[in-house]
Amino acid sequence: MKAVVLYESGGASMETIMAVYPRHKLIVDAFAERGEVLAIGAFGGRDGSMGVFRDRQAAEAFVAQDPFVLEGLVGKIIIRDWNETLMK
C-alpha cells in the first residue's frame, strides 16, 4: 500500500525555504532514484505540499531526513496509507 505525506506550511519566508531547498532536493532525488517517491510537490498559494511514496516505511524515512522538517519549516505533518485506485 502506498503512503501520502502532507506537509502544512510552517510560515517560513520564501528566502528561508529557497536556502534549504537544495538540501531537500538531494533527499527527493535519492528517494526517486530508489523508486521510493512517486510524486512530490507544493500546492499552489504556499499552502503546503504533498508526496506519494511507495509505502509507509519510505514515507517515514523521508520525513525523518527532510531538512524542511529538521529545520522547522513544516508546520504539521500527516502520513496516510493510501489504497490507490485507478478510475476510468
pLDDT in tens, 22-45: 999 999 999 999 999 999 999 987
Q: Which residue type, as a one-letter code, is found at position 34?
A: R
* pTM for this entry: 0.92
Average pLDDT over residues 9-31: 94
pLDDT tens column, 39-88: 999 998 778 999 999 999 999 999 999 999 999 999 999 999 999 887 66
- The pLDDT of residue 72 is 94
**Residue 81 near residue 6 (C-beta atoms within 8 A):** no
CATH number of this structure's domain 2-82: 3.30.70.1060
- The pLDDT of residue 64 is 98
Q: Which residue has the higher pLDDT, 14 or 55?
A: 55
Q: What are phi and psi of 10, to 5 degrees?
A: -95, 5
